[in-house]
Amino acid sequence: MVHTKLAAAGIEVSVGTVAVIMAENGWAAKRMRAFKRTTIPSDPDKVFADLIGRDFTSDAPGSRLLGDITYLRTGEGWLYLATVIDLCTCMVVGWAMADHMRASLTTGALQMARDRGHLQPGAIFRSFPAS
């Protein structure tokens, strides 16, 4: 980017020279990330009460769980990772990966937690972000 701007300004210099000068001065290029919209507001009639609120504690394993999604850029595109965390043990008890961020990603992680015996009857699950 620096070399491109210099060339556009009519300054003839090699990419290597620009790199050396930047390194000597402790400068590094900052790569701009593409903006990616990840949250789409849902229908207000489909939003449930937040039963966990800001209380991220639990007295019993499998009774209160938290979910989140992170995304990673790979050579083949975006990889989405959903996790389910037990608030009592702070352990990741379920996860799922996909090339999309639809509801099935989160439900897949929650199903893993259930199938591995990490959910108690009446468990509360809170997934971010809140609408």
Q: What is the pLDDT of residues 105-117, one digit of tens each?
A: 999 999 999 999 9
Q: Is 16 left (phi over 0), alpha (psi -120 to 50) or beta?
A: alpha
Joined together, the tokens standing for residue 81 give 């990772």
- The answer to whether residue 88 is domain-embedded is yes
Q: pLDDT above 90 covers what percent of the chain?
A: 48
- The answer to whether residue 98 is domain-embedded is yes
pLDDT per residue as tens digits for the range 4-29 = 888 899 999 999 998 899 999 988 87
The pTM (predicted TM-score) of the whole model is 0.63
Joined together, the tokens standing for residue 40 give 């789409």
pLDDT at 42: 65
pLDDT at 127: 83
- The answer to whether residue 1 is domain-embedded is no
pLDDT of 122 strictly over 50: yes
- The answer to whether residue 26 is domain-embedded is no
- The answer to whether residue 114 is domain-embedded is yes
- Number of independent structural domains in the chain: 1
- The answer to whether residue 96 is domain-embedded is yes
- The answer to whether residue 112 is domain-embedded is yes
- The answer to whether residue 101 is domain-embedded is yes
Q: Are 70 and 38 in contact (CB under 8 A)?
A: no
pLDDT of 129 strictly over 70: no
CATH number, position 98: 3.30.160
pLDDT at 131: 40
User: 102 is in which domain, residue-wise?
Assistant: 55-127
Average pLDDT, the chain: 86
